[in-house]
Amino acid sequence: MQSSGFRKAALSLGALLALSCGSSPAAPSTSGGNQVTVSIVGDRGNTSFSPNPAVAAGRMVVFRNNDSVAHRVRLNDLSVDWGTIQPGATSAPLLMPSDGTNYHCQLHPTMIGAVAVSDTVPPPTCRGDYC
């Protein structure tokens, strides 16, 4: 009898653990439709953002660092800073301005990017030190 009770308890615990797995935070996904992933890429010593510009105005954006060095992405007006994104890591999702914006890598000033409203509406004119 004792082994039967142990088996039921083990099965119950297994079922509980299986159900609780779905409630843990997951890695960012692009399948949600409202979130956009911008990749940080390195190619022959050059670094860039892809897509650029990203059609993501008014949507959540995450940056995925596919490069071999750390990057720090900030909006050009300095209102948003994603912090240092290590190689292989993904930033926290943040909502982009609804009218588009421009951003850069603070560690690599020649890396610049933009967020557009749509494929037919260009991003805002880049102004400031990173243009």
Write out pLDDT tens, residues 36-95. Answer: 999 999 876 678 999 999 999 999 999 999 999 999 999 999 999 999 999 999 999 999
CATH superfamily of 35-116: Cupredoxins -  blue copper proteins (2.60.40.420)
pLDDT at 44: 65
pLDDT at 45: 67
* Range 83-121 burial, b when 16+ CB lie within 10 A, else e: eebeeeebbebeebbeebbbbbbbebeebbbbbbbeeee
Residue with more model confidence, 26 or 5: 5
Q: Hey, what are 123's tokens?
A: 């991003």
Are the C-beta atoms of 62 and 37 separated by less than 8 Å? yes
pLDDT at 63: 97
CA pseudo-torsion sign 8, 12, 15, 21: negative
pLDDT at 52: 93
Q: Compute the distance between CA of residue 62 and CA of residue 30 in angstroms, rounded to an integer.
A: 9
